[in-house]
Chain A
Amino acid sequence: MSGALAAIAADVRGGRRSALALAEEAIARIRTRDGAVNAVTRLLADDARAAAAAIDARVAAGEDPGPLAGVPFGVKDLFDVAGLPTTAGAGMRREAAPAAADAVAVARLKAAGAVLVATCNMDEYAYGFATVNAAFGTTRNPHDPERLAGGSSGGSAAAVAAGMLPLTLGSDTNGSIRIPAALCGLYGLKPTHGSLPMAGVFPFVDSFDDIGPFAASAADLKLAWQVLGGSSGGAAAGGLKVARLGGWFARNADAELIAGIDAIAAHLGGIETVALPEVGRARSAAFLMTAAEGGALHLPELRARAMEYDPATRDRLIAGAMLPASAYFAAERFRGWFRAQAAALFARCDVLIAPAAGTVAPRIDDPAIMVDGQRVPARANLGIFTQPLSFIGLPVVTVPLKRPGMLPLGLQLVGPPGGEPALFALAEALEAAGLTGTDLPG
């Protein structure tokens, strides 16, 4: 799958493949496969055909449609798409006023020649790690339809993992790209906080919200990031100082995940194990800020029509709206201290390796995981390794361990703010070494 997006675009730019045919193939795949997965909330067939035909016309006229020419893509249902209501996964927003314009990220992909084909399922208002949605249904994991795809960007991940689309966009506040990427065996990017455009994206927690792509290879992910606004600069994997995160990040992780990190460490010639202090408290602080900001955002609607929310998000948002400001400020103060601890680590490391989700995808009929010997709901707790990192705005590339025929497990490659080029360099090197990589089911 390496470089699939660039190969598609090269063929379309060179007139060897038609964007319209690519769009038709994606539409057909969605119609054939999505019944078993429920990744797609709206198939935009007519719009996709029109956009693809316009790409082909530009090629025929001797123009260059851009680096993603003819690439079909989907977006999580919280990106504005001109002319459609932005549901944010909420049944109560099915009849919301249509968006006047595309989100900036959507516009950038289209300007690079990509063709929007579908919107994708999510946890309501992005508050969950499961993509279990009262209005739009549960998204199933393409590797095992009896298991969760993860969330909240589960539809975006499942659409790529099922081979329906080669590129999708999601959002990540506490792990909502990284968890579904890990559970569906994909590459996913949570960028440096604030580095990719949020205009036209339905918010959740301004302090941590970011957007990013899902793709089936490191090269595809990097290309999408560059088009979305990332740097065109690169980094060499050879000179990187890589370490693994121990402590909190070594507890509650499957032995196979730890073995995967061991194999990477051996490949890199042995790497140091380092620890971030007070990670559990960082997760608590992230939990509090999320609840408070999410609750405050939704308070006017909760006052007016609480019973129209998905029960799974409603009670969490109401509780967050009731949280005393003192709790929020305590969390914010802690964040400043914790960010400084991470910065001290990055003074001597370029990339830190950690688990993404601690286990394979939980079963839909038993959506629980074990944390410190306790069974806890997956919806709220799958992010134990992701929340403490997005809490301080760090960029993370999630990579799938190479394990053909087995349920996926994913790792986080974590960098300092602005460290994406090094993360992509390491992701590409590990993929080339056969240690990480995507194995799409079927």
Chain B
Amino acid sequence: MPGQRDNSETPPPTLEALAALAAIELPGACEQGVRDNLALLASHWRNLEGFAIPGDAEHPE
């Protein structure tokens, strides 16, 4: 599917990198909770990417 991620070769960004991108100083008390929630969101994203919207293949953007 065009634009689909290939997670087999690219390591996921670190929590620190994501925090830096969002310009947020992550309190230590939040780290595990944020990791858990990011893992949950990643699972939902993978679930979504496992489906090719009909018609996308014929009209890649």
| Chain A residues with a Cβ under 8 A of chain B | 278, 280-281, 283-285, 287-288, 291, 299, 302-303, 306-307, 311, 314-316, 318-323, 326-327, 330-331, 333-334, 337, 380
Contact = CB atoms under 8 A, between A and B. Distances in A.
A299 B48 contact: no
Contact of A333 (B22, B24, B41, B53): B53
26 contacts: A283-B44, A287-B41, A288-B41, A288-B48, A291-B37, A291-B41, A303-B23, A303-B25, A306-B27, A307-B27, A311-B30, A314-B30, A314-B33, A315-B30, A315-B33, A316-B33, A316-B37, A318-B26, A320-B37, A322-B18, A322-B38, A323-B38, A331-B48, A333-B53, A334-B51, A337-B53
Contacts of B9: none
B51 A319 contact: no
Contacts of B18: 322
B24 A307 contact: no
Say whether chain B's binding surface is mostly helix, strand, loop, or mixed: helix
B45 A284 contact: yes
A300 to B, nearest CB: 10
Contacts of A316: 33, 37
A263 to B, nearest CB: 34
Contacts of A314: 30, 33
Which range holds the interface residue count of chain B? 20 to 34
B41 A306 contact: no
Contact of B29 (A303, A307, A321): A307
A306 B44 contact: no
A343 B33 CA distance: 38
